[in-house]
Amino acid sequence: MTKLHELTQLGQSIWYDNIRRALLDSGELQALLVDGVMGVTSNPSIFEKAIGGSSDYDTAIKALAGSTQTDEQIYESLALEDIQRTADLLRPIYEATRGVDGYISLEVSPALAHDTAGAIADARRLFAALNRPNVMIKVPATPAGIPAIETLIGEGINVNVTLIFSLAHYEAVAAAYLAGLEKLSVNGGDLSRVASVASFFISRVDTAVDDRLADLGHTELQGKIGIANAKVAYGRFQQIFSGNRWQALAEKGARVQRPLWASTGSKNPAYPDTLYVDQLIGPNTVNTVPPATLTAFRNHGTVAGPRRWAPFWPKHRRSWYS
């Protein structure tokens, strides 16, 4: 049993925050799945690095370059193929977990972050083009993205909500998910067939506030705010997905919208390279990790059960996975 399998037993799923064609062709991704990786995420930056920083796609690009497709269309055709192949690799996990895990995510165009109608249309198009039940479409938690999330969930489209940084962001996302499920129920949809995660960014918070903490003379809090922020969101998750409104949906087969810890690679070399994995282990969560962090955790990460809040946090916020 690997450390990733141990995390699964504690209720946390590790998703791999990386994709490139060589991973698929070489069998490396399949090996990671055997070792306990339960899903995969992608984003435009990952694809940019994969396509521009390797020779993996050269043959395919040359073949498409003579067509009438635009550069954007060529990129999308390459990305769609990789996503479909990854979804097929993940399908046994999707089936074995009854739709809890085994997902691969693809993001709507970043240009649509502030365009509700455009994001909805792009998500519908991508979900239909991929034609896999274990695909999630990434939609940002912008003011324009929130109603798009509600609409898409109401249509039975799986959504990975990305770019969540604050409790207010998270609460709006969870409310959109619940409202979408209610719409799906009214329209006779199968609530058990739709899934969503709420991607809460961790290390970027510390990157943003550590210098300010130093200026204020609170260096003891550096490297801790991102984790504390996530724990507050988790406490709110427990509340939202335990009330009467949620129970009515759960009785119809709905599954919780799991918090997903994103941006969990340590950006400050002074911090442990497994900091944002070791400190955020618990049930009904996902941690999507980049390659270096996954390697580090497999080598020397610490698998531990539910934790308590750090002592500087207010008492009413101190329960952690309890």
**Hey, which residues are catalytic here?**
138
CA nearest to 145, candidates 129, 123, 166: 123
For 182, residues 6+ apart whose C-beta sits below 8 A from its C-beta are 154, 249
215: buried, middle or exposed (CB in 10 Å: 19+, 13-18, 0-12)? exposed
Helix axis angle, 58-65 to 71-96, nearest 10°: 130
72: buried, middle or exposed (CB in 10 Å: 19+, 13-18, 0-12)? exposed
Cα dist from 262 to 7, 79, 226, 283, 293, whole Å: 16, 21, 11, 16, 12
Is 277 within 8 Å of 264 (Cβ atoms)?
yes
Is 303 within 8 Å of 279 (Cβ atoms)?
no
d(CA 263, CA 258): 16
d(CA 48, CA 46): 5
φ/ψ of 310, rounded to 5, equals -60, 150
- Look up tokens 């998750």; give the residue: 237
Reading the block at residue 316, the tokens are: 């009413």
What is the CA angle 316-318-322, rounded to 5? 110
- Look up tokens 């994995």; give the residue: 277
